[in-house]
Amino acid sequence: MTKFIVVAGGVMSGVGKGVTTASIAKILVEYGYKVTTVKIDPYINYDAGTLRPTEHGEVWVTDDGGEIDQDLGNYERFLNMEISKRNNITTGQIYKTIIDKERKGKFLGKTVQFIPHVPEEIKNRLKESGNGYDIVVVEIGGTIGDYENIPFLFAMKSLERELGKDDVSYVLVTYLPVPSHIEEMKTKPTQQAIRLLSETGIVPDFIVCRAKKPLDKERKQKIEVYANIPSEYVISEPDIDTIYSIPLDLEKEQLGIKILKELKLKPKRTPNWNEWEKLVSKIKNPKKKIKVAIVGKYVDIGDYNLVDSYVSINESLKHAAAVLDVGVEIVWIDSKKFEKNESNINALKDCSGIIIPGGFGSSGVEGKVKAINYARTNNIPFLGLCYGLQLAVVEFARNVCNLENANTTENDEKTKFPVIGILPTQKKLMEKGDYGGTMRLGAYAAVLKEKSKVLHLYKETGRLKEDNERLQKLEKDKSQAFRLGILNGHKNIVLERHRHRYEVNPKFIKELENKGLVFSGYHLRKDGTKLMEFIELPSHPFMISTQSHPEFKSRLGNPSPLFYGFVKACAKQ
């Protein structure tokens, strides 16, 4: 029987509920359980696909093509596993399913109502996610007291009634402010959150207290009295240097054993945190430091949101750096700066490496091309991600192949040399107005070129072997056959995630190759179309780009091969 842990947040948003959820799941895995996680987003959007990165942070892409809230990213990064898009539940999805069923007459003439139909559907989805797992950790988005998460809390209570209290446990994550004028930690907002939660019939079993500093005994006791739970179940989670130390910190308070006890479970094994501890200590105290420039577009909105828009790249650099015992300082640069004034490019001079992340539209494109040119001609390690690959091809076409004003048609529809464009099959779909169908989303298999640097990196990190095991699972699922394409018995196959519409134009490949650009991996579609997935410049210390988003498959202890190679090359500089 699957058991559920429900994580809800009180006081305010952005206190680290997602990371706490991921940490709890990680701890339970260490105790030998099969654990998965679910994120509930109470908004009405069906998924995060249409959300602006500046509004909601980065859009996370799953293997099965979901465009999801970034919390799913934290789960995968902590648990080192693939999580399906079905593990993200939004209000929009719940209502859409119910309305679709109603239109098909599935309710047999009954009145379809908020209760029982909405909580029923939510419970169905949760149970589906729990198939094959011992424990599901469910994070409820938003803050207790929001109107929109009431249906989900109601569903949880109903699940508890159905399964019994031993199978459902509640964790409330709150925040304890320390107002600067009194320098005293305040428990009142937490008390209010407990009271608000109790209005839904839920009494938390655990209260995880986020704060600037650790909680003292007095505060714990205050909360104990107010919430009517033993003070050992009031867990302190103060601010830390790195999110990856949170599972270790929570374990110092023996949260794992306490949760297992609540769920009437016993540890299946003794946790072994050695590897994790080593990596965390390397993140905290690296031997060497490098400076990496991320030249992007979503930069004119203040530093805070910026990091949020590229959170997976940020984390991928950390994962690679932890393995290599290097510290990474990131400088965020608005590519438009290079367009305004040529000399601004000198900002890249003291950087050990340059990354061009994914992006859409034409804003800042020329500045990015300038940065790529700077990296190529000055032998600075360069990693291009998705749009980064497309613009690296544009730069090479213009400056090495002398294809004047070569471009992606996304930036210049009328360019004489459309080295990046929309494929004819996609154009047909677009004419029909089916823009959704033109996006390549989720994992796709790529065949890697023998002796390429890219292949070498996938071998060195053990990822080639891992992806081949995953491939075998995927091969059994006929509905996903399009993700594999034609493999022709090739062995060097990797799986990376995608989220894009434009492709390298097959018409120009020969010309680019003749001038020294190596296409080190491709996806061969069932209709015979070859899609370029990786490029590299053998003569450069590290000039590698990919059409995919490898940042969605980087985990602590299992870094993305391309980030690993990039950080290694930067450290060598």
Which stretches does DSSP call E strand in 345-477?
A: 353-356, 382-385, 407-408, 418-421, 440-448
Stretch touching ligand GLN by CB under 6 A, among 323-331, 451-459, 471-479, 499-507? 499-507
Contact between 502 and ligand GLN per CB under 6 A? yes
Stretch touching ligand GLN by CB under 6 A, among 20-28, 211-219, 354-362, 466-474? 354-362
Q: Looking at 57, 204, 296, 358, which residue binds ligand GLN (CB under 6 A)?
A: 358
Stretch touching ligand GLN by CB under 6 A, among 453-461, 497-505, 508-516, 520-528? 497-505
Residues in binding contact with ligand GLN, number by CB under 6 A: 10
**Binding to ligand GLN in span 374-413, by CB under 6 A:** 386-387, 410
Nearer to ligand GLN, 89 or 385 (CB): 385
Q: Which of 209, 386, 401, 570 is catalytic?
A: 386
Nearer to ligand GLN, 114 or 435 (CB): 435
Least Å distance, CB 364 to ligand GLN, is 12
The string of DSSP codes covering 244-285 is GGHHHHHHHTTHHHHHHHHTT---SS----HHHHHHHHHHHS
Nearer to ligand GLN, 9 or 359 (CB): 359
Provide the 3-class DSSP secondary structure of residue 494.
strand
Q: Calculate ∠ Cα 412-426-486, nearest 5°.
A: 120
The CA distance from 453 to 476, in Å, is 30
Residue 319 catalytic?
no
Nearer to ligand GLN, 362 or 402 (CB): 362
The CA distance from 168 to 203, in Å, is 11
CB 350 within 8 A of CB 398: no
Residue 386 catalytic?
yes
Least Å distance, CB 358 to ligand GLN, is 3
Nearer to ligand GLN, 202 or 394 (CB): 394
Provide the 3-class DSSP secondary structure of residue 193.
helix
**Block residue for tokens 């107005």:** 433
- At a CB cut-off of 8 Å and minimum separation 6, what does 543 contact? 375, 376, 381, 382, 392, 536, 537
Stretch touching ligand GLN by CB under 6 A, among 171-179, 306-314, 358-366, 447-455? 358-366
CB 54 within 8 A of CB 301: yes
Least Å distance, CB 544 to ligand GLN, is 16
Least Å distance, CB 394 to ligand GLN, is 12
Residue nearest to ligand GLN (CB): 358
**Side by side, which strands form the sheet with 418-421?**
407-408, 418-421, 503-504
Least Å distance, CB 389 to ligand GLN, is 8
Q: Kindly state the DSSP code that residue 333 receives in the 8-state scheme.
A: E
Stretch touching ligand GLN by CB under 6 A, among 35-43, 101-109, 146-154, 498-506? 498-506
Least Å distance, CB 439 to ligand GLN, is 7
Q: How many CB atoms lie within 10 A of CB 110?
A: 9
Q: Which of 76, 503, 549, 570 is catalytic?
A: 549
Q: Looking at 282, 499, 540, 568, which residue binds ligand GLN (CB under 6 A)?
A: 499
Nearer to ligand GLN, 51 or 240 (CB): 51
Provide the 3-class DSSP secondary structure of residue 384.
strand
Residue 551 catalytic?
yes
Nearest CA to 570 among 328, 250, 340? 328
Nearest CA to 326 among 62, 44, 570, 6? 570
Least Å distance, CB 529 to ligand GLN, is 15
- 305 burial type by CB count under 10 A (0-12 exposed, 13-18 middle, 19+ buried): middle
Q: Looking at 291, 501, 525, 530, which residue binds ligand GLN (CB under 6 A)?
A: 501
The CA distance from 566 to 457, in Å, is 10
Which residues form the interface with ligand GLN (CB under 6 A)? 358-360, 386-387, 410, 499-502
What are the residue numbers of the active site?
Answer: 386, 549, 551
